[in-house]
Amino acid sequence: MTNDSRKYQRLRESMVKNQIEARGITDPKVLAAMGKVPRHLFVSEALMDQAYADHPLPIGEQQTISQPYIVAHMTEALRLGPDDRVLEIGTGSGYQAAILSRIVFRVYTIETIRSLHMRARKLFDDLNYSNIVTRYADGTNGWKDESPFDAIIVTAGAPEIPMPLVNQLDIGGRMVLPVGGRLTQDMVKLERDEDGIHQSMLGGCRFVKLVGEHGWDK
């Protein structure tokens, strides 16, 4: 192992301890995944030294990679298991998809900006994360051919809950997404059971816009 990766491993361990565990994340699968995925490879070279810091970072195209704690919080809220098939809307850097892929059977992730989609795809291949399926499309319509999903995560802020996504959630399925205004949103959790959809709120958050047919206009 090179000095460099030892350095990043140390930063990663301290991120898990001081940002994630310290704020109450306990799911061992989430902690293990966050301790393993090389977050510094998901940002540009100039930002690598900041990759494990307690804030979001720009990834180009006016988009951002979420703060590590937010990634952990949303992932834990999905209550994932090893057989789950998960849909993510908003691949971005690919970091959230990478975390999910270390926990579940398969991740389907959709990105609407071509350059980000291409970069994430290459990184997944380089890292041998072979259970991530990527698609360049408007994710607000979901991925009907692969539905239903055990879990759905939206990593961009929606003006309202996109109904195609709710319809692609399996019975027993969980979904988390930021819903609200252009600048700030509430993190919403939906759960589907035999009786229908149950909704709960996980707190305030700040995401870039979900742009598409069932999102914001361009």
Q: Which residue is nearest to ligand SAH (CB)?
A: 92
Stretch touching ligand SAH by CB under 6 A, among 17-25, 91-99, 123-131, 176-184: 91-99
Residue 88 or 150 having the CB closest to ligand SAH? 88
Residue whose C-alpha is closest to residue 164's, from 182, 145, 183: 145
**Residues of this chain, 151-210, that bind ligand SAH according to CB under 6 A:** 155-156, 208, 210
d(CA 218, CA 215): 9
Residue whose C-alpha is closest to residue 126's, from 138, 118, 136: 118
Residue 45: CB partners within 8 Å, gap ≥ 6? none
Stretch touching ligand SAH by CB under 6 A, among 22-30, 74-82, 108-116, 125-133: 108-116
Residue 96: CB partners within 8 Å, gap ≥ 6? 66, 71, 74, 75, 88, 90, 153, 155
Pairing mode, strands 106-111 and 132-136: parallel
Q: Is 95 in the site for ligand SAH (CB under 6 A)?
A: yes
Residue 1 or 183 having the CB closest to ligand SAH? 183
Residue 196 or 203 having the CB closest to ligand SAH? 203
Residue whose C-alpha is closest to residue 135's, from 159, 107, 101: 107
> Smallest gap, in angstroms, from Cβ of residue 32 to ligand SAH?
18
Sign of CA dihedral 181, 22, 39, 142: negative
Considering 14, 66, 115, 200, which one is annotated as catalytic?
66
Q: Is 33 in the site for ligand SAH (CB under 6 A)?
A: no
Query: Which backbone phi and psi does 193 adopt, to 5 degrees?
Result: -130, -170
Work out which of 8, 69, 80, 96 binds ligand SAH, going by CB under 6 A: 96
Work out which of 101, 134, 140, 147 binds ligand SAH, going by CB under 6 A: 140
Burial bucket for residue 41 (CB in 10 Å: 0-12, 13-18, 19+): middle
Work out which of 113, 152, 169, 179 binds ligand SAH, going by CB under 6 A: 113
**Residue 66 known to be catalytic:** yes
Binding footprint of ligand SAH on the chain (CB under 6 A): 59, 63-66, 89-90, 92-93, 95-96, 110-113, 116, 138-140, 155-156, 208, 210-212, 215
Catalytic residues: 66
